[in-house]
């Protein structure tokens, strides 16, 4: 009976959302960006439409959760030709898969303000495990998080046909987060 009580207490501790703090992301002060190299020239872009649901407590990061949904048609780089190509079937294929998602079901403390968000990224119907390293500063109920992740775009089918090689567009792309949020 004693072991059963300990097991129940442990399970309740592990599934309890009481440790996680919910955050409202200020999309007007936040950026979800990407970067790459095309024809030897570096470029940056950002997604204009996305949502994020985040629960995070630095004292109990393992109890946290984050889900980010990205409107792929909102990708902009400031280059008309590139911006018109990104939604097409060769790249994001927004007609078939208009949204990408990232979901983390816990965070890992790495020391100081550094953390990792292991999760699943789904892009173009392909789901892969990824780890987003990030730092977060929390003060007076406000959080600022920054992170960078490098992905191989072809692992998700981004860049079909003649774009599948790294000849014109590098295979590695960066994903950058710069998040401002308020606790609620």
CA distance 124 to 114: 30
- Domains, the chain, ordered by start: 20-183 (2.40.128.110)
Quote the pLDDT of residue 17.
Answer: 42
- Residue 7 binned pLDDT confidence (cut-offs 50, 70, 90): very low
Q: Is the pLDDT of residue 68 over 60?
A: yes
Output the pTM of the full model. Answer: 0.87
| Residues 25/55, Cβ–Cβ less than 8 Å | no
Distances, alpha carbon 30 to alpha carbons 51, 64, 78, 126, 129, in Å: 11, 20, 18, 26, 24
DSSP H helical segments within 19-161, as ranges? 80-85
Burial of 87 (0-12, 13-18, 19+ CB in 10 A): middle
Q: Taking 70 as the threshold, does the pLDDT of residue 4 lie above it?
A: no
Q: Do residues 20 and 60 make contact, with C-beta atoms less than 8 angstroms apart?
A: yes
Q: How far apart are CA 131 and CA 114, in angstroms?
A: 13
1 has a pLDDT exceeding 80: no
pLDDT score recorded for residue 20: 57
């Amino acid at each position: 009976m004693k072991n059963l009580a300990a097991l129940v207490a442990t399970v309740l501790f592990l599934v309890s959302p009481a440790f996680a703090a919910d955050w409202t992301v200020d999309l007007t002060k936040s950026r979800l960006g990407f970067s790459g190299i095309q024809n030897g020239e570096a470029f940056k872009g950002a997604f204009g439409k996305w949502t994020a649901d985040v629960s995070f407590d630095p004292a109990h990061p393992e109890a946290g959760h984050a889900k980010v949904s990205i409107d792929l048609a909102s990708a902009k780089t400031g280059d008309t030709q590139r911006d018109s190509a990104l939604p097409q079937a060769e790249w994001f294929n927004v007609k078939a898969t208009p949204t990408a998602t990232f979901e983390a079901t816990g965070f890992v403390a790495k020391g100081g303000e550094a953390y990792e968000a292991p999760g699943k990224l789904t892009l173009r119907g392909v789901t892969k495990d990824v780890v987003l390293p990030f730092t977060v500063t929390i003060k007076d109920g406000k959080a600022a998080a920054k992170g960078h992740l490098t992905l191989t775009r072809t692992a998700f089918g981004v860049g079909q046909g003649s774009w599948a090689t790294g000849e014109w567009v590098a295979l590695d792309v960066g994903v950058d987060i710069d998040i401002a949020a308020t606790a609620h």
